[in-house]
Amino acid sequence: MATTLTKGPSQTAAQHARPSRRRIGERPNWLGGAISWLWLLVVIVPIYWIVITSFKSQSNYYAENPFAPPSEPTLANYQMVIEADFIRYFVNSLVVAVGAVAPAVAVSFMAAYAIVRGGGSRFLRSTNSLFLMGLAIPLQATVIPIYLIIIRLHLYDTLLALILPSIAFAIPLSVLVLSNFIRDVPKELFESMRLDGASEWGTLWHLALPLTRPAVVTVTIYNALTIWNGFLLPLILTQSPEQRTLPLALWSFQGQYSINVPAVLASVVLTTLPILVLYVLGRRQLLAGLTAGFGK
């Protein structure tokens, strides 16, 4: 019974290592199961519909059963979307995502390290409180001053205009998740690094970073996802088609080709594909990181 008192990582690890197959096995959880499978259907059906429809010609779209696989699959929609400057919007999104995520994760990691290691300092405590407060501030509320700042910096209608605020708004959550993980690094390891004469920077780089790599991957993917899908900042901070990112291009494409549903859905697939690849690659870390980051 002593285990009820300690919620240490070792205990939870033991739980994970030994799924109690025979323990709960008495009676299946019918309600939870039914809802979960029903929900799966609700999630999957629209996605299935998007994918199959994107391979249909416009005339087949109107003629066929919406859930029937395309009778004459065509890549014409994809060709059309790619010819409509998809590559340019893709590159724009990539520049913004990489340009914002890399610095955001770097500065957040440094801050999280400082907050965990120097947690008692008043400056760091206030900094942490400020970041935590940032979690409650809706980005939308600050876009008018951001618009003003971007104009005054002569950055309106540039990709940098999207990058700078994106970094700022990635910081609160990144610091929260990263500091949660850095806190789990045993204090003895930090002590022994210190006794060996390592600097804080060296400790951060050679101890904290390698040990918290899953968390770093988590916040990288999460921020990439958020920024890749960002809509409001591109909407108000850019103007010319040359600076469009994918979600905005999708929106204007929809306005332009609203009658051609298969083509619009092909563009939905194309804009989602890169993030899907990223998800498949980093899925384990992302799920583990998010559940640990929020569920603690």
Residue/partner pairs of 268-276 with CB below 8 Å, 24 or more apart: 268/50, 268/54, 269/50, 269/51, 269/54, 269/78, 270/78, 270/81, 270/82, 270/86, 271/246, 271/247, 274/90, 274/94, 274/228, 275/224, 275/225, 275/228, 275/229
Part in contact with another protein (CB under 8 A); list of ranges 37-45, 75-83, 84-92, 209-217: 37-45
The footprint of another protein on residues 132-171 (CB under 8 A) is 132, 134-149, 164-165, 167-169, 171
DSSP string, 36-69: HHHHHHHHHHHHHHHHHHHTS-HHHHHHS-TTSP
Closest to 292 (Cα-Cα) out of 177, 136, 212:
177
282 binds another protein (CB under 8 A): no
Please count the residues of this chain forming the interface with another protein, following the rule CB under 8 A.
129
- Please select the residue that binds another protein; options are 36, 59, 192, 256, rule is CB under 8 A: 36
CA distance 227 to 275: 11
Smallest distance from another protein to CB 75, Å: 20
Q: Is 50 in the site for another protein (CB under 8 A)?
A: yes
Comparing CB distances to another protein, the nearer of 64 and 76 is 64
CB under 8 Å to 129, separation ≥6 — which residues? none
Stretch that binds another protein, among 69-77, 79-87, 212-220, 261-269 (CB under 8 A): 261-269
* Residue 25 binds another protein (CB under 8 A): yes
Binding flag, residue 189, another protein (CB under 8 A): no
State which of residues 96, 97, 101, 115 lies at the interface with another protein (CB under 8 A). Answer: 115
66 touching another protein, by CB under 8 A: yes
Position 199 contacts another protein (CB under 8 A): yes
Can residue 15 be called a binding residue for another protein (CB under 8 A)? Answer: yes
Q: Which of 82, 84, 160, 198 binds another protein (CB under 8 A)?
A: 198
Segment near another protein (CB under 8 A); pick from 73-81, 82-90, 173-181, 210-218: 173-181
If binding is defined by CB under 8 A, does position 247 make contact with another protein?
Answer: yes
